[in-house]
Amino acid sequence: MFWQTLGDADLAHLAETCRAALAEGDAVISSLSIYGDVLMDNAQARKTRHNWKRLIDTAPSFGCDLVTGEASGNLTLTQAFLFYCFNNPCS
């Protein structure tokens, strides 16, 4: 779980390390999470939105297909944001 930003996390390396550590057992990574209000119109919210998209794009590398987070405010805006993220992956 991440708080507002991923910092300088190398997600590909983190995924590889996590999956290697879990390879010997029955544990799995079921989801990735980032928390921060993505509905605000400020620099921190823009970073959080970008990092949420990065997690969505990277989730398969962790062996999961679920990315969760917190998005305060209007449910319609939250749904629109998530629709956008899933249909416009980071390059």
DSSP for 25-86 reads: SS-----EEEES-TTS-SHHHHHHHHHHHHHHHHGGGGT---EEEE--S-HHHHHHHHHHHH
Contact 35, 67 (CB under 8 A): no
Contact 31, 67 (CB under 8 A): yes
Band (pLDDT 50/70/90 cuts) for residue 4 is low
- pLDDT (tens digit per residue) in 19-36: 999 888 888 888 888 877
The total of structural domains in the chain comes to 1
State how far the Cα of 13 lies from the Cα of 5, in Å rounded to an integer.
17
Residue 16's pLDDT is 93
Range of the domain at 41: 2-87
Q: Is the pLDDT of residue 42 over 90?
A: no
For residue 2, the surrounding DSSP H or E stretch is: strand 2-3
